[in-house]
Homo-oligomer: A and B are copies of this chain.
Amino acid sequence: MKSYTPDGHIETALTEKDAKELDIIELFFFAYRDFTADPDMILEKLEFGRAHHRVLYFVNRKPGMTVAELLEVLKITKQSLARVLKQLIDKDHIVQIQGPRDRRQRELYPTHRGRQLALELAAPQSRRIANALEQLDPSKRAVIEHFLKAMVNPAQWQQIDSLPKSG
Give me the interface of A with B, judged by CB distance under 8 Å: 2, 4-5, 7-35, 54, 57, 60-64, 75, 95, 97, 109-112, 114-115, 118-119, 122-123, 125-126, 128-133, 135-136, 140, 143-153, 156, 159-160, 163-167
Contact = CB atoms under 8 A, between A and B. Distances in A.
B129 A27 contact: no
**Most interface-central of A22, A62, A114 (chain B CB within 10 A):** A22
Tally of this chain's copies: 2
Contacts of A140: 143, 147
Contacts of A33: 75
B21 A125 contact: yes
Contacts of A32: 28, 32
